[in-house]
Chains A and B, each alone.
Chain A
Amino acid sequence: MKLFLKNARVIDPAQNTDDIMDIVLAEGKIIARGPDLKAPPEAELIELAGLVAAPGLVDMHVHLREPGLEYKETIASGAAAAVAGGFTSIACMPNTEPVNDNRSVTEFIRRKAAEADLAHVYPIAAITAGSEGKRLAEYWDLKEAGALALSDDGKPVMDAALMRRAMEYACSLDLPVIQHCEDKNLSACGLINEGYWSTVLGLPGIPAIAEEVIVGRDILIAEYTRTRIHIAHVSTAGSVRLIRDAKKRGVQVTAEATPHHFTLTDEALAGYDTNYKVSPPLRSRADVEAVKQGLADGTIDAIACDHAPHARTDKEVEFEYAACGISGLETSLGLSLGLVHDKTLTLAQLIARMSLQPANILKIPAGTLAEGADADITVIDPALDWTVDVQSFRSLGKNSPFHGRKMKGRAVLTIVKGTVKYDGRAPRP
């Protein structure tokens, strides 16, 4: 099966490319690219004039809920949501039931992903057994089974000594450690950002420092032990500052931010709508601006949506009982293009933060359209006006505060290993 992509605006940050080109795909690889290529025989022609061909997008932080919580999402439905949102590679967090802290769960996830045969699904395994923060999981075994990073996402490792050991041990295996930074003593029973809105709404607050003290702590551990740390979903100005300063000192720290944290402020909580309840919480305007600045100046390396699908029953309850999270895979690119529309990033910078850079952090073969690379390609119509409708989500999780929001730009074609896995182009006359 060959595909001939014609007249695309090819944006490939790995090679500093931004030109109108043709691309030939065969046997799952990019075999040729350049201006005015001759159509190879037996290739299906796809005309892409006016559209952008980008390296397949990578989301390094999603929750697929399987095994155990299939009523919220399955690996197949999550992978379908990924390709519909333009993602060819996703990395899934281990907080399933059971927790992905052993070979059998990792292998199960890989098998289910292979059966779904949509996006590449990379399992992230737990840092500690059961994500209980007490003892290390078996990293050698997990790596052999196919885990490519470690995280106790949602249950931060509070024991600094254990975190140090985890980072040292993982570093020798070249497994990135991803921390959900939240000091559980400081966040306590908090529900939303601590500030004006938590005071008005009478909801217990989660102070910015709950995130920042762990960001600071883990940066210091990485610096002292000469290991790596990746900071998940950065939400505060203080975290951005700590990461920026650490990078200047040469600490091996990387970071990601979510579209909701650079799009919404905690003012959105005013009506107690549980679709805005996320962890870490939506923060202040100053924090949103700092996260955007961090993305612009490279302090924050990647955009990841923290896709957290939930069933209606998890959200249609009193605010304090509601589950945290947003079903994000199908709105992530649309919201992120907002950063291009408001001139925070160039389109090439955005694409780098959604493909090349997360691919580099995870060390997966993705993020470039070089000849010989895997044929993972996301075709984006940056000018397409559309409206978010959760009922059209491939994800089982319809929990999105962006329902009804007008967007400009989205993925219209998602190609994984040379095969079209999502085609959202308008039907041709």
Chain B
Amino acid sequence: MMKLAKKDILGIRDMSREEINLILDTAESFLEISTREIKKVPTLRGKSVINLFYEASTRTRTSFELAGKRLSADTINISASTSSAVKGETLIDTARNLEAMTPDIIVIRHSAAGAPHLLAGLVRQSIINAGDGSHEHPSQALLDMLTIKEKKGKIAGLKVAIIGDIAHSRVARSNIYGLSKMGAEVVVAGPPTMLPRDIDKLGVRVCTKLEDAVADADVVMMLRIQLEREKQNIFPSLREYARHYCLNRRNLGLAKPDAIVMHPGPINRGVEISPDIADDPTCSVILNQVNNGVAVRMALLYLLTGGSE
């Protein structure tokens, strides 16, 4: 029986391979609950989880909420805006007030990198980082790894291509750490304006052409292009981006014949992924990712409240 020796889940960078395996194995055992007619077990009855979201989110917030509810925890959602956080009550005061209500876990999403770390150093409760700025999104990387394991039977030895705006992507960072620790070969690709400085020092191969990254890949992970980046001159236009970095039938043909296609959502159809790929059940595992997300978050809530495998 292994237990998670962490108080908080802040990122994959500071997680060991053993911890990742523990979370993935636990998540696998929870997958079945979501297939039952009565999708609820009493495991976390009497525990409470606060979802503190300073940034809009549908998928991640719903996923954490369902994860808590399926384990019978009481879940509370708070949507806050960072603009009022600047002018009004500080994050620290909000956290101290929530702490005083003695929840067991606080799940936080924030546009400022490091915000979960600020909380973790301050309150007794376990903090789960549900995405902080361009830093990390650990539960997303864990659900991605679970999905890869499910579809490929392993992670070690696979070639994974991550394509898009690496510089601004917390999903990319968490996956780079996680997949590398689990023994995959990671290659990232995007226009040079989307590749952060010294990204190669994270142990990944770096390409500027989608085709070079996709060639021979077992897994192709596309990242969402944030449309407002166009204004920062990171790329000239969506038209030009889509012509060169959109995953389509032609360039996906360079990958291994049984390659799977992933996307953390929400997708921009026709920008980073063509609709026929996104909707093709023979390669696209996008909805499996979403499904696995609930199980991974159940595992995190369970392990952080003292559960063991």
State in angstroms the CA–CA spacing of A266 and B136 once bound together. 19
Contact A198 B173 (CB under 8 A): no
A271 is an interface residue with CB less than 8 A from chain B: yes
A160 is an interface residue with CB less than 8 A from chain B: no
Whether A272 contacts B13 in the complex (CB less than 8 A), given A196-B201, A320-B112, A321-B86, comes out as: no
Query: Which residues from chain A contact B92 at a C-beta distance below 8 Å?
Result: 316-317
Query: What's the dominant secondary structure at chain B's contact region?
Result: mixed
- Of B13, B115, B132, which contacts A200 at CB under 8 A? B13
Query: Which residues from chain A contact B85 at a C-beta distance below 8 Å?
Result: 318
Contact B118 A198 (CB under 8 A): no
B170 to chain A, nearest CB (A): 6
Contact A318 B197 (CB under 8 A): no
State in angstroms the CA–CA spacing of A196 and B202 once bound together. 8
B270 is an interface residue with CB less than 8 A from chain A: no
A195 is an interface residue with CB less than 8 A from chain B: yes
Whether A202 contacts B118 in the complex (CB less than 8 A), given A194-B197, A196-B201, A272-B113, comes out as: no
State in angstroms the CA–CA spacing of A48 and B143 once bound together. 68
- Of B117, B167, B196, B202, which contacts A272 at CB under 8 A? B117
State in angstroms the CA–CA spacing of A203 and B92 once bound together. 20
A238 is an interface residue with CB less than 8 A from chain B: no
B186 to chain A, nearest CB (A): 14
State in angstroms the CA–CA spacing of A205 and B197 once bound together. 9
A310 to chain B, nearest CB (A): 15
Contact B91 A318 (CB under 8 A): yes
A110 to chain B, nearest CB (A): 36
Query: Which residues from chain A contact B86 at a C-beta distance below 8 Å?
Result: 321
Chain B residues 90 to 130 lying within 8 A of chain A, measured CB to CB, are 90-92, 110, 112-115, 117-118
C-beta contact mask, A158-202 vs B, less than 8 Å → 1, else 0?
A: 000000000000000000000000000000000000111011111
Query: Which residues from chain B contact A318 at a C-beta distance below 8 Å?
Result: 85, 91, 110, 112, 114-115, 118
Contact B173 A202 (CB under 8 A): yes
- Of B113, B170, B198, B202, which contacts A319 at CB under 8 A? B113
B20 is an interface residue with CB less than 8 A from chain A: no
State in angstroms the CA–CA spacing of A316 and B121 once bound together. 12
B291 is an interface residue with CB less than 8 A from chain A: no
Contact A202 B113 (CB under 8 A): yes
State in angstroms the CA–CA spacing of A201 and B173 once bound together. 9
Query: Which residues from chain A contact B136 at a C-beta distance below 8 Å?
Result: 202
Query: Which residues from chain B contact A317 at a C-beta distance below 8 Å?
Result: 90-92
State in angstroms the CA–CA spacing of A317 and B119 once bound together. 10
Nearest A-chain residue to B137, judged by Cβ: A202
- Of A199, A202, A321, which contacts B197 at CB under 8 A? A199
- Of B113, B167, B199, B201, which contacts A201 at CB under 8 A? B113
State in angstroms the CA–CA spacing of A205 and B118 once bound together. 20
Query: Which residues from chain B contact A321 at a C-beta distance below 8 Å?
Result: 86, 112
Contact A199 B113 (CB under 8 A): no
B133 is an interface residue with CB less than 8 A from chain A: yes
C-beta contact mask, A185-225 vs B, less than 8 Å → 1, else 0?
A: 00000000011101111111101000000000000000000
Query: Which residues from chain A contact B198 at a C-beta distance below 8 Å?
Result: 195-196, 199
Contact A203 B202 (CB under 8 A): no
B305 is an interface residue with CB less than 8 A from chain A: no
B288 is an interface residue with CB less than 8 A from chain A: no
Query: Which residues from chain B contact A199 at a C-beta distance below 8 Å?
Result: 167, 196-199, 201-202
Whether A202 contacts B133 in the complex (CB less than 8 A), given A196-B201, A272-B113, A318-B118, comes out as: yes
Size class of the contact patch on chain A: 20 to 34
B134 is an interface residue with CB less than 8 A from chain A: yes
Nearest B-chain residue to A318, judged by Cβ: B112
B61 is an interface residue with CB less than 8 A from chain A: no
Query: Which residues from chain A contact B170 at a C-beta distance below 8 Å?
Result: 202
Whether A316 contacts B112 in the complex (CB less than 8 A), given A194-B197, A202-B134, comes out as: no
Query: Which residues from chain A contact B167 at a C-beta distance below 8 Å?
Result: 199
Whether A195 contacts B197 in the complex (CB less than 8 A), given A316-B92, A318-B91, comes out as: yes
Nearest A-chain residue to B177, judged by Cβ: A200
B135 is an interface residue with CB less than 8 A from chain A: yes
B16 to chain A, nearest CB (A): 17
Contact B202 A316 (CB under 8 A): no
Contact B202 A200 (CB under 8 A): yes
Whether A201 contacts B135 in the complex (CB less than 8 A), given A317-B90, A318-B110, A320-B112, comes out as: yes
Query: Which residues from chain A contact B135 at a C-beta distance below 8 Å?
Result: 201-203
State in angstroms the CA–CA spacing of A207 and B135 once bound together. 18
Contact B133 A203 (CB under 8 A): yes
B87 to chain A, nearest CB (A): 11
B188 to chain A, nearest CB (A): 11
Chain A residues 307 to 343 lying within 8 A of chain B, measured CB to CB, are 313, 316-321
Query: Which residues from chain B contact A272 at a C-beta distance below 8 Å?
Result: 113-114, 117-118
Chain B residues 72 to 87 lying within 8 A of chain A, measured CB to CB, are 85-86
State in angstroms the CA–CA spacing of A217 and B114 once bound together. 35
Query: Which residues from chain B contact A200 at a C-beta distance below 8 Å?
Result: 13, 173, 202
State in angstroms the CA–CA spacing of A196 and B198 once bound together. 5
State in angstroms the CA–CA spacing of A108 and B91 once bound together. 37
Query: Which residues from chain B contact A207 at a C-beta distance below 8 Å?
Result: 197
Contact B197 A319 (CB under 8 A): no
Query: Which residues from chain B contact A319 at a C-beta distance below 8 Å?
Result: 112-115, 118
B223 to chain A, nearest CB (A): 14
Contact B197 A316 (CB under 8 A): no
Query: Which residues from chain A contact B13 at a C-beta distance below 8 Å?
Result: 200
Chain B residues 44 to 76 lying within 8 A of chain A, measured CB to CB, are none
Query: Which residues from chain A contact B118 at a C-beta distance below 8 Å?
Result: 272, 318-319
Chain A residues 267 to 315 lying within 8 A of chain B, measured CB to CB, are 271-272, 313
A104 to chain B, nearest CB (A): 31
State in angstroms the CA–CA spacing of A310 and B115 once bound together. 20
Contact A271 B117 (CB under 8 A): yes
Of the A-B pairs whose beta carbons lie under 8 Å apart in the complex, a sample of 8, sorted by A's number, is A196-B197, A199-B167, A202-B113, A272-B113, A272-B117, A318-B110, A319-B118, A320-B133
Given contacts A202-B133, A202-B170, A318-B115, 9 further A-B contacts (CB under 8 A): A196-B197, A196-B198, A202-B113, A202-B173, A204-B134, A272-B113, A317-B91, A318-B85, A320-B113
What 8 pairs across the A-B complex have the smallest Cβ distances? Answer: A202-B135, A272-B114, A202-B134, A318-B112, A199-B196, A196-B198, A202-B113, A319-B114
